[in-house]
Amino acid sequence: MSVYLLRRLIQAVGVVLAMSLIVFIGVFAIGDPVEILISPDADQMERERAIKALGLDLPLWQQYAIFLGKALQGDLGRSFVFNEPALTLILQRMPATLELAFAATFGAILIGLPLGLYAGLRPNSVGSKAIMAGSILGFSLPTFWVGLMLIMVFAVQLGWLPSTGRGETVTILGMRWSFLTADGISHLIMPALNLALFKISLVIRLTRAGVRETMLMDYVKFARAKGLSPFRVTFVHVFKNILIPVVTVTGLEFGSTIAFSVVTESIFAWPGMGKLIIDSINVLDRPVIVAYLMIVVLMFITINLIVDLTYSVLDPRVRLEGK
Amino acid sequence: MSAPTLEVRNLCTHFFTRAGVVKAVDDVSFTVDRGKVLGLVGESGSGKTVTGFSIMGLVDAPGRIVSGSILFQGKDLATLSEEEMRHLRGNRIAMIFQDPMMTLNPVLRIDTQMIETVLAHEKVSEDEARQRSRDALGMVGIPSPDERLKSYPHQFSGGMRQRVAIAIALLHRPELIVADEPTTALDVTIQGQILAEVQKLCATTGTAMIWITHDLSVVAGLADDIAVMYAGKVVEYGDVGEVLDKPLHPYTHGLIGSVPSRNKRGEPLRQIPGMTPSLLNLPEGCAFRARCPRAQADCVQRPELREWLPARLARCHHPHREEAAAA
């Protein structure tokens, strides 16, 4: 087990290194932040002073070396725009994004699993066909359009839900959370639903496919031959088997939920990391972009590890040696 | 004499598919007495497994029992509701499946899968259910059952898994066990051990058993009676020794002739020419007609199961009657 974890850790370091290099070169290739940051009226002296202050006068490889050296000490650079450490900026926004992503993921499981189970158990009923047709819409409608429609219907026309911001928040452990106040929850519902729509469809389809496949297995027939109640056959024998793919995929999807939240956060003016990264890309705020992507990579690596560990809990056949 | 444990009369189980009606089981009758073993023999697709599932009430859509009766201790199982049937399944009628690698749920521990079976039919404490499960494992020859209860199926070999499946079938001391080729997937030595144990159990507990197989040598050693199925019908039925020695039906004849060990070395192996007909459009009359060396013009008439010799039934117009009677 510890050997396994160590190997994963070394792989993770390799991925982070490769990632930082690609991002660094990529952002360098996009454009020169100096053009955007420094006012056109500035004279040559001022320009050079600013470039020097930002460390942009050095060759790229030196900039990268300095960045790496500082990164090892936990310093991912200062934002050109806010003149604050990039890491602090991102961590400030992170709870908002995580809250949204968790709400969307749990929503997707709470809605998707029962619907998928129903569709799998009664594949020919009208309800199942409606669910499956709906899941195609969930897959194919663009997130931004659904978001705008949600605002149109529930905020503008019906006036049930607020359309922007986080609402009232409660501070716990130095971070602000919306889900603990009624006002915050009313602000959370629409963006979370918007973000969850794709995942709901995904969970429905995965669950349905899993149920239909598992129902044909000999062990389900054997469970019925033992005289077990249909409830136990479905919710113990079938359910535990379909959880394996569902957990794997929703877990891995969690990373892309955070990435996708860029669109949803922009539409609902949700003050999270996604909004920050879009703004930073617009002004080529290189340290923030690099720091954000590094953090996202770290998050993906952590999520993958957690998924692998959960997987081995659910499926005894892949249980890691030496428990 | 008391009523037989199981009496199947004119059972028909059909599958209503888009391509047409598949008559998987078409007019099957047999009887199994207490403590006896009936060997149900036939090729793949002859309807023997569907017969087993019909008895268990486990025929899934698009299939269903269309006619006939399954009298279990005088009660017709074909007329019971799903809920009534569920109380019999695993309790008084148990089934053992063909592939031991597939019958146990891979993500549940053995104790979970055994205890739930006990609790499904009896209100006992979990401790007592565990006790019973452990005893059952011991009975089928699994060493250190306490430890093995805590294992997952993938930690067992195929033979051990089949023992677990048999132990589960025995938990409630059923009156009838339907065993669907339970030793086919196992190697010969394990097969021998399991057969010996099953035989012992039947003799001591009085459990009746239907042993579904395509292996005539297993039936020869284990069964009391034999029913040979072909294309959904029983074509020959009788005492196992007599049927195997002096078969009446040309199909049984061919089946016995196809056992390789009866051949002399160097001779080409004998086989039945042709293929089993599709159950979707069976030929009129005798289904075996096209492959039968004794077929004559009147075989287009559907033959009925007829008692040609005392307690010897065959569904054929031209059985090997003289040879059987003479021998």
Q: Residue A213: its chain B contacts at CB < 8 A?
A: none
Strand stretches in A145-192, DSSP E: 170-172, 175-177
Rg of chain B taking only CA atoms, in angstroms: 21
Report whether A78 contacts A288 (CB < 8 A). Answer: no
Q: Could you tell me the CATH number of the domain that includes residue B262?
A: 3.40.50.300
Q: Residue A315: its chain B contacts at CB < 8 A?
A: 106-107
Whether residues A227 and B95 touch (CB distance < 8 A) is answered with no
Closest CB from A222, A229, A315 relative to B103: A222
At residue B262, the pLDDT reads 65
Identify the burial level of A175 via C-beta atoms within 10 angstroms of its C-beta, where 0-12 means exposed, 13-18 middle and 19 or more buried.
middle
- The whole-angstrom separation of Cα B117 and Cα B102 is 17
User: Which amino acid does the sequence have at B326?
Assistant: A
The number of CA neighbours under 13 Å toward the Cβ of A279 is 18
Has residue B195 been placed in a domain?
Answer: no
Per-residue pLDDT for chain B (327 aa), expressed as one digit of tens each? Answer: 467 889 998 999 999 988 888 888 988 999 998 888 999 998 888 888 999 999 998 888 888 899 999 999 888 888 888 889 998 998 899 999 888 888 999 889 999 999 999 999 988 899 999 999 998 888 888 888 888 899 899 888 888 888 899 889 888 888 899 998 888 777 788 788 888 887 887 788 888 999 998 888 888 888 899 999 998 889 999 998 888 888 888 888 888 888 777 667 777 777 888 777 788 777 788 888 888 888 888 888 888 888 888 888 889 888 887 776 765
Residue range A92-104: mean pLDDT, rounded:
87
Has residue B54 been placed in a domain?
Answer: yes
Closest CB from B88, B103, B120 relative to A219: B103
Q: Residue A225: its chain B contacts at CB < 8 A?
A: 56, 58, 89-90, 94-95, 97
Has residue B20 been placed in a domain?
Answer: yes
Between these two residues, A247 and B325, which has the higher pLDDT value?
A247
φ, ψ for residue A268, nearest 5 deg: -95, 10
On the question of pLDDT at A255 being above 90, the answer is no
Has residue B81 been placed in a domain?
Answer: yes
Q: Which residues contact A153 (CB under 8 A, 6 or more apart)?
A: none
**For residue range A133-158, what is the model confidence (pLDDT) as tens digits?**
999 998 888 888 988 898 888 888 88
Q: What angle do CA A239, A246, A305 make, to 5 degrees?
A: 125
In the three-class reduction of DSSP (H, G, I as helix; E, B as strand; rest coil), residue A58 is classed as coil
Between these two residues, B224 and A186, which has the higher pLDDT value?
B224
Q: Which residues contact A252 (CB under 8 A, 6 or more apart)?
A: A303, A304, A307
Structure tokens at B286: 């005798």
- The whole-angstrom separation of Cα B77 and Cα B91 is 14
Q: Å from A85 to nearest chain B CA?
A: 48
Whether residues B89 and A227 touch (CB distance < 8 A) is answered with yes
Q: Which residues contact A129 (CB under 8 A, 6 or more apart)?
A: none
On the question of pLDDT at A89 being above 60, the answer is yes
Q: Å from B251 to nearest chain A CA?
A: 31
Q: Does A222 touch chain B (CB under 8 A)?
A: yes
Whether residues B95 and A224 touch (CB distance < 8 A) is answered with no
Among A36-40, A82-86, B87-91, the minimum mean pLDDT is found in A36-40
At residue A323, the pLDDT reads 39
Q: Please give the C-alpha separations between residue B107 and each of A87, A209, A290, B151, in angstroms, as whole numbers.
A: 43, 18, 43, 11
Which ipTM score applies to this complex?
A: 0.86
Strand stretches in chain B, DSSP E: 6-17, 20-32, 37-41, 63-72, 75-76, 93-96, 176-180, 208-213, 225-230, 233-239, 305-309, 312-315
Give the homologous superfamily in CATH for domain A93-318.
Answer: MetI-like (1.10.3720.10)
Instruction: Provide the residue range defining the domain that includes B306.
Output: 6-34+41-85+227-326
* B24 bridge partner residues: none
At residue A202, the pLDDT reads 92
Domain count, chain B: 1
Whether residues A314 and B95 touch (CB distance < 8 A) is answered with no
Q: Å from A134 to nearest chain B CA?
A: 27
Three-state DSSP string of A87-153? HHHHHHHHHHHHHHHHHHHHHHHHHHHHHHHHHHHCCCCHHHHHHHHHHHHHHHCCHHHHHHHHHHH
Q: Residue B112: its chain A contacts at CB < 8 A?
A: 236
Q: Å from A222 to nearest chain B CA?
A: 6
Q: Which residue has the tokens 């598992």?
A: A214
**For residue range A44-62, what is the model confidence (pLDDT) as tens digits?**
777 788 777 777 777 888 8
Nearest CA in chain B to A240: B107
Chain A, window 77-96: residues with a beta carbon less than 8 angstroms from a chain B beta carbon: none
Q: Does A144 touch chain B (CB under 8 A)?
A: no
On the question of pLDDT at A14 being above 50, the answer is yes
Whether residues A227 and B86 touch (CB distance < 8 A) is answered with yes
CATH 1.10.3720.10-classified regions of chain A: 93-318
Structure tokens at B280: 């979707």
Q: Residue A236: its chain B contacts at CB < 8 A?
A: 108, 112, 116
Nearest CA in chain A to B86: A227
Whether residues A240 and B121 touch (CB distance < 8 A) is answered with no
Interface residues from chain B to A (CB-CB < 8 Å): 56, 58, 86-91, 94-95, 97-99, 102-109, 112, 116-117, 120-121, 152, 154, 165, 168
Structure tokens at A318: 């892949």
Q: Å from A181 to nearest chain B CA?
A: 40
Nearest CA in chain A to B168: A226
Closest CB from B99, B109, B120 relative to A227: B120
Report whether B302 contacts B285 (CB < 8 A). Answer: yes
Question: What is the enclosing helix (H) or strand (E) of B7?
Answer: strand B6-17
Structure tokens at A5: 């974890």
Q: Identify from A122, A124, A215, A219 which residue to disrupt to test chain B contact, counting B C-beta atoms within 10 A and taking the largest count.
A: A219
